[in-house]
């Protein structure tokens, strides 16, 4: 067993960390967040040039042959700087769907330009009534000639406003919560009938409500199998969960570093507040939480490509529960130990806290994944 990074992986890690350190100061991030787009095209071009957009795809798919470990390395560094560029929806989700289920033609038309930095993606799967159940799909796709007609509403679609292609889950057969009968479609974001309401999110990203009004797509828009899209989509969401866990680990480390620095320098009662044992112990608990989060993320990163779906799901859910718990503790503690400064917009502390909070919610909160994990664990 070897849990250390290879030389190539170390190089990537150093590269992404350097970018975040040198080009993603908190004030720079604030400026990027305030733009209409909410991310920087110059940065995106740089990501493409440095190979980060293709890092985790096979060479056959035009990538550099890395995998989940490379994705985690990149996401962790992005987390430490609260990077806003839409790597998760574009590369991990959209790219992931194409790599896992796309035809050669789809890969050529979409994946290759994505890796080159020319196309961005979004994944539309949230429905108001569905909460975190990916099988609860009310958006429909009806056969129409050789193609399909998609209708319905998806919510909280990250990066929809910048996406060239929106991957949408739609019901092609069965009842509203049946596992079979869900199909994934690649829809041109500018297709007739696609309309959006765009908005910023609590953590300064961009999302949209997307309505599909009789959107006509060809047979070639189907990604993976007709009626068999749920398994494909779940697999990609599990991979996205692990990537996001790595981002959270980066957030927690940065937050712990900032808090440690603060309690060493902020003086009250004539001493640095870090001299008070209650804060020392809380800081230790923060470190322990971050360690556990890192360990669970590593475990999940290494198991996420396991051919056994149950193993993969358990790994993703286990990591997500730990991240939710640790992220909440580290976030709340950082705010508390910063005193009044912690609840202001001015310091980065509250922004890390907000991102960690949204990560806890995204793809299912602690409760959801605890019960998914319990189901898998007790079944075995």
Partner 1 sequence: MDLAFTKEDLAFRDEVRAFVEAELPADVRDKVAKGKHLERDDYMRWQQALGRRGWLVYTWPKKHGGPGWTVTQRYIFENVCADMNAPGIIPFGSKMVGPVIYTFGTDEQKATYLPGIRESKVWWCQGYSEPGSGSDLASLRTRAVRDGDHYVVNGSKTWNTMGHWADWIFCLVRTDPDSKPQEGISFLLIDMKTPGITVKPIIMADGGHEVNEVFFDDVRVPVANLVGKEGEGWTCAKFLLANERLGIAAVPQSKRGVDAVKKIARAENDNGRPLIEDASFREKIADLEIQVTALEYTELRALSAMAAGGAPGPEVSFLKIRGSEIQQRITELALEAVGYYAMPYQPALLWHGANEEPIGPEHAHTAAPRYFNVRKTSIYGGSNEIQKNVISKMVLGL
Instruction: Write out the residues near ligand FAD by the rule CB under 6 A.
Output: 266, 268-269, 273, 276, 278-279, 336-337, 339-340, 343
Query: Residue 110 and residue 127: Cα distance in Å, rounded?
Result: 25
Q: Which pairing describes strands 121-124 and 222-223: parallel, antiparallel, or unpaired?
A: unpaired
Verify binding: residue 354, partner 1, rule CB under 8 A. Answer: yes
Q: Which of 345, 378, 379, 380 binds partner 1 (CB under 8 A)?
A: 345
Verify binding: residue 126, partner 1, rule CB under 8 A. Answer: yes
Verify binding: residue 259, partner 1, rule CB under 8 A. Answer: no
Verify binding: residue 367, partner 1, rule CB under 8 A. Answer: yes
Verify binding: residue 26, partner 1, rule CB under 8 A. Answer: no
**Residue 236, binding choice from partner 1, ligand FAD, none, Cβ under 5 to 8 Å by partner class:** none
DSSP conformation letters of 290-322: HHHHHHHHHHHHHHTT-SSHHHHHHHHHHHHHH
Enumerate the β-bridge partners of residue 126: 155
Query: Residue 372 and residue 315: Cα distance in Å, rounded?
Result: 11
- Residues 179 to 198 in contact with partner 1, rule: CB under 8 A: 197
Q: Which of 105, 340, 378, 380 binds partner 1 (CB under 8 A)?
A: 340
Q: Which is nearer to partner 1, 198 or 305 (CB)?
A: 198
Query: Residue 377 and residue 310: Cα distance in Å, rounded?
Result: 9
Q: Which is nearer to ligand FAD, 129 or 269 (CB)?
A: 269
How far apart are CB 339 and partner 1 at their closest, in Å?
Answer: 5
Q: What is the DSSP letter of 341?
A: G
Q: Are 261 and 283 in contact (CB under 8 A)?
A: no
Verify binding: residue 133, partner 1, rule CB under 8 A. Answer: yes
Residue recorded with tokens 């602690």: 366
How far apart are CB 50 and partner 1 at their closest, in Å?
Answer: 30
Query: Residue 83 and residue 62: Cα distance in Å, rounded?
Result: 25
Q: Are 171 and 182 in contact (CB under 8 A)?
A: yes
Residue 243's φ and ψ, nearest 5 degrees, are -60, -40
Q: By the criterion CB under 8 A, which residues form the site for partner 1?
A: 126, 128-133, 136, 155-156, 176-177, 197, 199-204, 207, 209, 267-270, 273, 276, 278-279, 328, 332, 335-336, 339-340, 342-346, 350-351, 353-354, 357-358, 361-362, 365, 367, 370-371
């Amino acid at each position: 067993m070897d849990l250390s990074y290879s030389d190539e992986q170390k190089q990537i890690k150093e590269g992404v960390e350097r970018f975040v350190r040198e080009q993603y100061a908190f004030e720079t991030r604030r400026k990027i967040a305030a733009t209409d787009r909410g991310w920087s095209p110059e940065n995106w071009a740089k990501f493409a040039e440095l190979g980060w957009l293709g890092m985790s795809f096979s060479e056959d798919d035009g990538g550099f042959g890395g995998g989940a470990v490379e994705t985690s390395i990149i996401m962790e560094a992005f987390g430490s700087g609260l990077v806003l560029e839409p790597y998760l929806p574009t590369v991990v989700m959209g790219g992931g769907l194409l790599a896992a289920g796309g035809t050669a033609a789809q890969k050529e038309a979409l994946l290759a330009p994505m890796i080159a930095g020319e196309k961005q993606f979004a994944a539309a799967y949230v429905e108001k009534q569905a909460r975190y159940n990916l099988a609860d799909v009310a958006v429909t796709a009806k056969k129409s000639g050789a193609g399909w007609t998609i209708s319905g509403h998806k919510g909280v679609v990250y990066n929809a406003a910048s996406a060239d292609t929106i991957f949408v889950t739609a019901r092609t057969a069965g009842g509203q919560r049946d596992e079979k009968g869900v199909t994934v479609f690649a829809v041109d974001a500018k297709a007739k009938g696609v309309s959006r309401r765009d908005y910023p999110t609590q953590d300064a990203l961009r999302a949209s409500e997307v309505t599909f009004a009789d959107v006509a797509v060809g047979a070639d828009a189907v990604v993976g199998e007709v009626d068999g899209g749920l398994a494909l989509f779940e697999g990609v969401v599990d991979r996205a969960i692990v990537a996001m866990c790595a981002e959270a680990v980066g957030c927690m480390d940065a937050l712990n570093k900032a808090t440690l620095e603060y309690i060493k320098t902020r003086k009250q009662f004539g001493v640095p507040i870090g001299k008070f044992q209650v804060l020392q112990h809380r800081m230790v608990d923060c470190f322990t939480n971050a360690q556990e989060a890192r360990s669970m993320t590593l475990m999940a990163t290494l198991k996420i490509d396991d051919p056994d779906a149950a193993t993969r799901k358990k790994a993703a859910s286990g990591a997500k529960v730990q991240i939710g718990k640790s992220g909440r503790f580290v976030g709340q503690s950082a705010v508390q130990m910063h005193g009044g400064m912690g609840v202001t917009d001015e310091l980065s502390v509250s922004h890390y806290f907000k991102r960690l909070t949204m990560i806890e919610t995204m793809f299912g909160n602690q409760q959801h994944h605890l019960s998914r994990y319990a189901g898998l664990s007790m079944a075995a």
